[in-house]
Amino acid sequence: MQMKYQSPRGTQDVLPKDSKAWQRIITAAKEALEFYSFKEIIVPIFEYTELFQRSVGESSDIVNKEMYTFMDRSERSITLRPELTAGIARAYIENGLHREPKPIKLWSYGPAFRYERPQVGRYRQFFQISAEVLGSNSIACEVESVFALTKIFNNLNLDYRIEINSLGDDASRRAYKEYFQKYTKGFLNDLCDDCKKRYEQNPLRMLDCKVVADQEIFAGAKKPLEFLTDESNKRFEGIKSLLGLYKEKDCREIKNIVTNPNLVRGLDYYNDFVFEIKSTSEILKGQSTICGGGRYDNLVESLGGPQSPGFGWAMGIERLMLVVGECSKKNISVMFLSNQEDIFNYSNQLYDLTKEKDLNVNLEVIYNPSNISKQLDAALKKNVDFIIFYLDNEKEKNVFKIKNLQTREEIECMKDSSSMVDLLKSEYNKTKK
Ligand code: ATP
Ligand code: MG
């Protein structure tokens, strides 16, 4: 018997019925990012393993448990990227982008890979849209990104909440680390194995532990916000003020934004401002975070580049797909049935005309249909909006016959592409109402 193949665990196919919603997410992000002058960068899907060990960090779950790492044929250790920022920072240094006028604003889109337990909204291959501002430590980076993200999510009609926090600069985090190690020392035996490791490597990461018993222990501890240096505190207050957190709730540009003092992020490279955007939809269960990011002023330098402050974030497309509603702007599907050679002149002209008249058309030309009634059945099954007949009869009369499959009406129009597009447009607007 022929073997049946299945996609690898944690991967999925985006089927044609869903690809329109997928594109809508990318377009919404691209439009907002381009408005704010982000430029696209495309970097490799795999990199040398050291890059991620160094940037994402040895104490992160990603590096410890989730990377797809293998030796290539010349015994170099290769890793499928678990996120996009590390590769972008590498490209920024390697291509000397840091010598160009700053800030450098980059965005990218593509798959990332993490060996996780697959569940709703959590996969082993998933797609991210990632945006980075390199070479600026102005709090404008944070503020502008939050505004751009609200444009994207509002455009997609999502319900969401923005949670922000500050981890502080090096000195703040050093002070907190010292305090928090002291606080947790007495509980060390009660903590999960991961937290025992984090205690040594990166105590701050314990706050991000998902184990409830551990969280109960940490609940009594002071938060990183209480250890901010004056400088870091000033930054965070500045951001909050620009984001309108001190205004009356009704007067705020962004209404659904709160400070969450427990928020730390899963990657090692963040300092000062961090944030997450959570969908308030029930569908995503534990995977409600649709976007996360923060400031990473030491990342570029730690990868061997010049000191360049940075700020960035990433959002997960599959999670958004689960909460984004049906797409309202539909393409019009048109089927041409013809046995006339000149049909291809018209179908070709149609392309430019539909663009000119802002009509999104999916065209299918059935040339020399062997059985017209069979073609009609097929068109009905496919849910085609219009069939355009151009057979011997129409050729003789110098017309196209257009059948609107919603109203079942048949209308003739003059045989030129422009009249055809006008008729399609007015017929389509009729059925939309
Ligand atoms: P989580 O806490 O849910 O594991 P994370 O902090 O590991 O998320 P990031 O590294 O910040 O996630 O990645 C940014 C975004 O990418 C997430 O907010 C999420 O939308 C998406 N994402 C991360 N991991 C996955 C995954 N395994 N499957 C699908 N989407 C993911
Ligand atoms: Mg994760």
83, 122, 289, best to mutate for ligand 1 pocket (most atoms within 8 Å of CB): 289
pLDDT at 268: 75
The SS3 call for residue 154 is helix
| Ligand 1, atom 3, residue with closest C-alpha | 287
What pLDDT is attached to residue 433?
Answer: 52
Q: Is the CB of 122 under 6 A from ligand 1?
A: yes
Nearest of 56, 288, 70 to residue 159 by alpha carbon: 288
For residue 289, give the ligand nearest its CA. Answer: 1
Find out whether 332 and 428 touch, Cβ atoms under 8 Å.
yes
**Cα three-residue angle 259-265-268, rounded to 5 degrees:** 140
Residue bearing the CA closest to ligand 1, atom 9: 292
Does residue 292 have its Cβ closer than 6 Å to ligand 1? yes
Q: Distance between CA 237 and CA 254 in Å, rounded?
A: 16
Could you give the CA distance from residue 430 to residue 433 in angstroms, rounded to a whole number? 6
The pair of structure tokens assigned to 78 is 């290769």
Residue 291: CB atoms within 10 A of its CB come to: 25
Confirm or reject: Cβ of 278 under 6 Å from ligand 1.
Answer: no
Report the chain's terminal Cα–Cα distance, integer Å: 52
Name the 3-class secondary structure at 160: strand
Which residue's C-alpha comes closest to atom 6 of ligand 1? 266
Domains and CATH numbers, the chain: 16-169+229-321 (3.30.930.10), 332-432 (3.40.50.800)
Q: Locate all alpha helices (DSSP H) within 202-277, ordered by sequence.
A: 212-219, 230-242
pLDDT tens digit at each of 433 positions of the chain:
677 899 999 999 999 989 989 999 999 999 999 999 999 999 999 999 999 999 998 888 899 899 999 999 999 999 999 999 999 999 999 999 999 999 999 999 999 999 999 999 999 999 999 999 999 999 999 999 999 999 999 999 899 999 999 999 999 999 999 999 999 999 999 999 989 988 988 888 888 888 999 999 999 999 999 999 999 999 999 999 999 999 888 888 888 999 999 999 877 789 999 999 999 988 888 889 999 999 999 999 999 999 999 999 999 999 999 999 754 557 899 999 999 999 999 999 988 898 888 888 999 999 988 888 898 888 888 889 999 999 999 999 999 999 999 889 999 999 998 999 999 888 888 876 5
Question: CB–CB of 295/85 below 8 Å?
Answer: no
pLDDT value at residue 279: 94
- Residues 6 or more apart whose CB falls under 8 angstroms from that of 75 comprise none
Ligand 2: distance of its center to the CA of 266 in Å? 7
- Of all protein residues, the one whose alpha carbon is nearest to atom 16 of ligand 1 is 316
The pLDDT of residue 329 is 58
Which pLDDT value is given to residue 251? Answer: 83
Would the CB of 287 count as within 6 Å of ligand 1? Answer: yes
Spatial separation of the C-alpha atoms in residues 365 and 338, rounded to whole Å: 8
Dist CA 230 CA 264 (whole Å): 20
Strand order in the sheet with 68-71: 46-48, 77-80, 68-71
Q: Which ligand is nearest to the CA of 292?
A: 1
Atom of ligand 1 nearest to the CA of 82: 10
pLDDT score of 326: 54
Identify any residues that bridge with 332 across adjacent strands, giving them in sequence order: 361
Ligand 2 centroid to Cα of residue 355, in Å, is: 42
